[in-house]
Amino acid sequence: MTPPTDSRVDVRKTYKLYIGGAFPRSESGRSYVVNDSKGRFLANASYASRKDARDAVQAARKAFGGWSTRTPYNRGQVLYRVAEVLEGRRTQFLDEVQRSEGLAKRQAEAAVDMSVDRLVWYAGWADKIAQVVGGTNPVAAPYFNFSVPEPTGVVAVLAPQRSSLFGLVSVVAPVVLTGNTCVVTASADRPVPAITLAEVLATSDVPGGVVNILTGSLADTAPWLASHMDVNAVDLTGAAGDADHARQLEEAAAENLKRVRRAPAAEPDWTEEPGLERMTAFLETKTVWHPIGI
Amino acid sequence: MLSWKIAPALACGNTVVLKPAETTPLTALLFAEICQQADLPAGVVNIVTGAGQTGRAVVAHDDVDKVAFTGSTEVGRLIARTVAGTDKKVTLELGGKAANIVFDDAPVDQAIEGIINGIFFNQGHVCCAGSRLLVQESVVEEVLDRLKRRMSTLRVGDPLDKNTDVGAINSAEQLAKIRELSDIGEQEGAGRWSPACELPAHGYWFPPTVFTGVTQAHRIAREEIFGPVLSVLTFRTPAEAVEKANNSPYGLSAGVWTDKGSRILWMANHLRAGVVWANIFNKFDPASPFGGYKESGYGREGGRHGLKGYLR
């Protein structure tokens, strides 16, 4: 018997974390209520703990060897695939972005479309960036000498607090495109599009562990990521506007000389041309010498 | 060291405050005279000598836009902490524990010269010194034999004498640290060997020293000694060599000795180090980017990459 529709109970989903390609609950068992921009219930989300952050770093480290040694062309293809799958869920993202950020329908449409475009834009850079930032070096002696960019390693990314999808995509894509793996803290108040993006990543060709997504409060995860000795770099974009917190995180990052991309004073305008800076911030330069002779 | 910092800074139109190492102020002050003779406008290059406190004052000053530092990882950490929350640009060229990897098909004569130059050049006071020698198991006896013979011909003595190969240690403090770590090497079970050589009676001296039977757990294989002390480890496969070479918080430089081109490129791809010298060691050029991965610091010196740190 099908019950009459007006008595149907909604499935109130509790969204989980995304670690190592799986969707675990927080080990702490904690969750929190996510409301939309008008204060109405939207979802329950997992409240990540420091242990979850450490698990995520471990998963990112494990994935680094395989991901960083794929060909740049292949990583570009994977990113294109992510763009395709994201586009396929356009309606869902539209709804979630609109409700999370309180946008007009047209603005939400633009945010979702620009997210797809940004992924495609970065995907195109996959097999070009090395030629722009690397090359041969004209040394004054008989040596063949060249420099190539290489990924820094595991990057902790504090995703922007306001732009829940477009901003998120704009900070994650440049990090992983070049071969890094990452642990991302999603916008604390607007985590739903990030969780849906995790579902997109899980069903694209992105290997598990390349992107790990934590939801919850920055205060509970960011300090542990910034001080973690197996994290190589940190992007503090999500701490924009909180100079004290950003400074503390940068100080913690000094312990193992993490590369730090500092927090801006305010969240950037994501519609601006991104440039190469978000890619080069998490690239190392390796220089190789060999004698020339007969 | 001084010119590697000042030249790119001036070339990009910056002005400079230089704080030389507390043990090497004299060359810096001589350089000041050269600046005068070259009619460099007053104030373009300024030199303040002193110890850590002076350095801290320079780094922390509100009107400094960029900090370029060469030195220990410990001080590098302090600097990174000091500039936190500011807009200052930073490049750090810090410690290293370079692996010099010798395969069984390596050109042995050149490799021996490379190993000697790698660790004994400037008494091992080089951040990129090849202080971990990784030798393929099948040739370890031959390589060690020839290495020891070559070490026996090194002259230790007056650094101003052009016949000298290994000069004096930079300070009493540094000498004590080299001695301490070497004694620990012995205590931890590694075999210590130095050629019979007479050390001058006065000054700070340490003979060229090699440790055999070293494992990755030994402190002499993990910590930067910054002296003429070489640790020898062995490996069987290229993968094992890479794993051992990368097993370090540092990642400044590495050396590879083999006749096989494809293996050089494979090794170069897999070594996590900012500079890889293949069939050569300790080569530098102003056009070639130099700098480390991981705790060896960040930013590059040399080449287009090096100029970037001095521009907005």
B212 and chain A: CB distance < 8 Å anywhere?
no
Mean local confidence (pLDDT), B15-30? 92
Are A140 and B285 within 8 A, CB to CB?
yes
d(CA B243, CA B267): 11
A259: closest CA of chain B, how far (Å): 7
User: Measured between beta carbons, which residues in chain A are less than 8 angstroms from residue B252?
Assistant: none
pLDDT band at B93 (very low <50, low <70, confident <90, very high): very high
ipTM, 2 dp: 0.95
Residue A102 forms part of a structural domain: yes
B117 and chain A: CB distance < 8 Å anywhere?
no
Which structural domain range is residue A208 located in? 16-33+41-291
Burial (0-12, 13-18, 19+ Cβ within 10 Å), A68:
middle
Domains and CATH numbers, chain B: 2-94+287-308 (3.40.605.10), 99-278 (3.40.309.10)
Predicted structure pTM score: 0.95
Residue A265 forms part of a structural domain: yes
d(CA B50, CA A112): 57
How many C-beta atoms surround the C-beta of residue A69 within 10 A? Answer: 11
B301 has catalytic annotation: no
Residue A164 forms part of a structural domain: yes
B127 has catalytic annotation: yes
User: Is the Cβ–Cβ distance between A240 and A264 less than 8 Å?
Assistant: yes
By CA distance, what is A133's nearest residue in B?
B305
User: Measured between beta carbons, which residues in chain A are less than 8 angstroms from residue B291?
Assistant: 285
What is the pLDDT, as a whole number, of residue B2? 84
B74 and chain A: CB distance < 8 Å anywhere?
no
Instruction: Read off the pLDDT of residues B53-84 as tens digits, 9 standing for 90 and up.
Output: 999 999 999 999 999 999 999 999 999 999 99
Residue A82 forms part of a structural domain: yes
Catalytic residue among B35, B113, B127, B142: B127
What is the pLDDT, as a whole number, of residue B164? 86
d(CA B230, CA B214): 10
d(CA B291, CA B139): 31
Q: Which of these, B136, B144, B138, B111, lies nearest to B237 by C-alpha position?
A: B136
Residue A3 forms part of a structural domain: no
Residue A157 forms part of a structural domain: yes
Which B residues 265-304 touch A at CB under 8 Å? 268-269, 273-280, 283, 285, 287-291, 293-298, 300, 303
B256: closest CA of chain A, how far (Å): 10
Are A137 and B289 within 8 A, CB to CB?
yes
| pLDDT above 90 as % of chain B | 85
Q: Which tokens go with B218?
A: 């030994």
Q: Which tokens go with A12?
A: 């109130």
Render each residue's pLDDT in chain A as its tens digit; 294 residues.
555 566 788 777 789 999 999 999 999 999 999 999 999 999 999 999 999 999 999 999 999 999 999 999 999 999 999 999 999 999 999 999 999 999 999 999 999 999 999 999 999 999 999 999 999 999 999 999 999 999 999 999 999 999 999 999 999 999 999 999 999 999 999 999 999 999 999 999 999 999 999 999 999 999 999 999 999 999 999 999 999 999 999 999 999 999 999 999 999 999 999 999 999 999 999 999 999 998
A244: closest CA of chain B, how far (Å): 8
3-class DSSP state of B118: helix
The tokens 């480890």 sit on which residue?
Answer: B233
Beta-sheet pairing, B229-235 with B209-212: parallel
CATH for A115: 3.40.605.10
**Tally of structural domains, chain A:** 1
Interface test with A, best of B285, B296, B300, B312 (most A CBs within 10 A): B285
For residue B158, pLDDT over 70 is answered with yes
By CA distance, what is B74's nearest residue in A?
A255
d(CA A197, CA A199): 5
Terminal alpha carbon distance of chain A: 87
Are B295 and A147 within 8 A, CB to CB?
no
Out of B273, B277, B297, closest to residue A257 by CB = B297
User: Is the Cβ–Cβ distance between A97 and A193 less than 8 Å?
Assistant: yes
User: Measured between beta carbons, which residues in chain B are less than 8 angstroms from residue A140?
Assistant: 285, 287
Q: Which tokens go with A31?
A: 């969750």
Residue A5 forms part of a structural domain: no
Please, how many CA atoms are within 13 Å of residue B153, restricted to the half-sphere of its CB? 7
What is the pLDDT, as a whole number, of residue A233? 98
